[in-house]
Amino acid sequence: MMSLHTSPLEQPGTGDAGGMNVYVSQTAVEMARRGIEVEVFTRATSSEQPPVAELAPGVKVRHVPAGPYEPLGRDELPAQLCAFTSGVLRAEAFHEPGHYDLIHSHYWLSGQVGWLARDRWGVPLVHTAHTLAKVKNRALAEGDTPEPRTRVIGEEQVVAEADRLVANTPVEARELIGLYDADPRTVSTVSPGVDLDRFTPGSRSAARAELGLPEDAIVLAFAGRIQPLKAPDVLLRAAATLLADRPDLAARLVVLVVGGPSGSGMEQPRALRELAVSLGIERQTRFLPPQPGRALVNVYRAADVVTVPSYNESFGLVALEAQACGTPVVAAEVGGLPVAVAHGVSGLLVPSHRAADWASALASLVLRPGRLAELSVNAVPHARRFSWKKTTDALLATYSAATSAFDYHLRSEVAV
């Protein structure tokens, strides 16, 4: 697997670490459980990182030196593609020819490396975009920066060269075909999953006690990277609107924001806190850094509603994780979120990013305990339709199709 710009060893929720990190680590570990050896190539960001680390038995993470030993912005990473590719090819050169059977690249930067390695090693390339520049640029948040032409061209090249393309949802599959001229025969739709052993229903009282939240609070939560694309500001504006309509809720409302700055949000890391002050809801708003493991489960269990107000989401793993914990989700009706959230069953989809519309949707749940309880009950079985085992089954079927169709004379030509 190629995951150049972010490592599966990193904590999701800040920097470039997010749902893709979870996807790579979970599918790699699941494949290893089935006896498939997996190596994940990622860029080294510290001189203290070992050349090879074990993510789990059967899964190695290779830290490839490429550029300075520090995190780089995505706009800086294209300049390191040659160095990263050289490191990847050098690692393979220490093995007998045919050591790797298949390459799965994640995100367009990795796809560029995977394309070159594919031609050098004579093996199939499967690619997952995770996000697409043309789609993001169609739905930019106010003040956000458009994706550069360099990325658009890079994505087009990878789509043209990959042997198989994996889309998270039918919507993304149509975008690959319609916006990038992908061959429909090469596109497979594979839904991401959720860790159903970790994300489970539990005591709301215990979770709130762990987080220091009042038992009778109305808790609206956001978990993710703090950047315009993820739109946590929509939740804050909706909460302010809700309080303007129902000032009696001021003593009970808690807006819980969990995550760290990322992408264009790094330019103004305190902007969200300043927005809370300007909206007059600083007393109701709590900020927490990204939460690992059990602590994140407590966030989901403690919330009455988890919100996903993104302007674009290829899927939305946070929505699945929250529902698996029995917490309804209010999400923007964009990208893959209509797949991750069953509207009116396990949560609600909001067709805009207007504060009034979000306040109305949130009020329709938190002010109607019976309705909230109904969606909470439905959330768990909906989330259980998705698992990393199912995702891995579908990926392995895609790998098999790519392998069967691959022209292996390329490998013999390369060997010569």
Q: What is the pLDDT of residues 174-215, one digit of tens each?
A: 999 999 999 999 999 999 999 999 999 999 999 999 999 999
Q: What is the pLDDT of residues 46-94, one digit of tens each?
A: 999 999 999 999 999 999 999 999 988 888 999 999 999 999 999 999 9
Start-to-end CA span in the chain (Å): 26
34 with 58: CB under 8 angstroms? no
172 with 191: CB under 8 angstroms? no
* 204-383, CATH topology level: Rossmann fold (3.40.50)
Q: Where are the domains of the chain?
A: 19-193+388-415, 204-383
Whole-angstrom distance, CA of residue 182 vs CA of residue 201: 40
Instruction: For residue 50, report the phi and psi dihedrals to the nearest 5 degrees.
Output: -70, 155
What's the confidence (pLDDT) of residue 97? 87
pLDDT mean across residues, the chain:
93
Token pair listed for 187:
């596109």
Whole-angstrom distance, CA of residue 106 vs CA of residue 100: 17
Instruction: For residue 194, report the phi and psi dihedrals to the nearest 5 degrees.
Output: -145, 145
| Sequence ranges of the binding site for 1D-myo-inositol 3-phosphate | 5, 16-21, 74, 107, 131, 151
Non-local CB neighbours of 306 within 8 Å, separated by 6+ positions: 221, 222, 223, 300, 318, 319, 322, 327, 328, 329, 330
Non-local CB neighbours of 75 within 8 Å, separated by 6+ positions: 148
| Sequence ranges of the binding site | 5, 11-12, 16-21, 74, 107, 131, 151, 225, 230, 291, 300-301, 303, 313, 321, 327
Q: What is the pLDDT of residues 349-391, one digit of tens each?
A: 999 999 999 999 999 999 999 999 999 999 999 999 999 999 9
- For residue 3, what pLDDT band results from cuts at 50, 70 and 90? very high
| Sequence ranges of the binding site for Mg(2+) | 300-301, 303, 327
Name residue 103's beta-bridge partners: 125
Instruction: For residue 98, report the phi and psi dihedrals to the nearest 5 degrees.
Output: 90, 10
* Homologous superfamily of the 19-193+388-415 domain (CATH): Glycogen Phosphorylase B; (3.40.50.2000)
Ramachandran region, residue 107 (left: φ > 0; alpha: ψ -120 to 50; beta: rest): left
Do 19-193+388-415 and 204-383 have matching folds?
yes
* 3-state secondary structure (DSSP) of residue 75: coil
